[in-house]
Structure 1
């Protein structure tokens, strides 16, 4: 256990050294490549305007998303009506998707309880 801790500390130290040497260069390169997205001057008013644009753009996309969801639901309903014609592969994919959703729900519940299985903290 102690050797694993030393290895972890060593790797963390190496990562810190790498970031201290190359972090500034990476930051400058990233800003330079994406400077077309930077608003000058960055005022409170401009930030407020951009956040409103993002909010209302997302809000305006809801009808399209609703339409896509309705198409997906119609497809699932048609599959359910013709389930006797369903292939094993399709049923397997549906079962894996359901299992994945269930697992994400369980992981979310465990995370919500502070990563404890029973809900009691030790």
Structure 2
């Protein structure tokens, strides 16, 4: 166990040295590449304005999302009505989608329990 701790400390030290050497340059490069998204001057008022713009823009998009949801639901209803004509490929895609949703649910449950598989802290 002690050797694992020394190994972990060594890796952490290497990562720390890498970040101190290359972190500043990466930060500057990242800001330079994305300067079109930076608001100047960076004031509290500007941040509040952008926050409100994001909130109300998302709020304004709800009717469009609502309409899209009902269109999607109608297409699923049509597929269900014509399920006799359903191809194997379509059924396979639907099964994979359901399996993926279940897997994300399970992953969320595991994360929610603090990455324990039993739900108990040992």
Please report the TM-score for the alignment, with normalisation by the length of structure 1. Answer: 0.84
Q: Could you tell me which residue of structure 2 aligns to residue 32 of structure 1? A: 32
Q: Identify unmatched segments of 5+ residues in structure 2.
A: none
Question: Which residue in the other structure is 1:109 paired with?
Answer: 109
Kindly provide the CA deviation profile for residues 24-78 of structure 1, in whole angstroms up to 9, marking residues without a partner as x: 1111111122222222222211111110000001111111111211111111111
Compared CA separation, residues 96 and 5, structure 1 to 2 (3 A): farther
The 3-state SS of whatever aligns with 1:16 is helix
3-state SS of 1:80 partner: helix
Matches within 5 A, 1:42-81: 42-81=42-81
Extract unaligned runs of 5+ from structure 1: none
> Which stretch shifts more, 9-18 or 55-64?
9-18
Alpha-carbon distance in structure 2 between the residues aligned to 1:33 and 1:107: 34
Q: How many residues align?
A: 122
- What TM-score, normalized to structure 2? 0.84
Partner of 1:87: 87
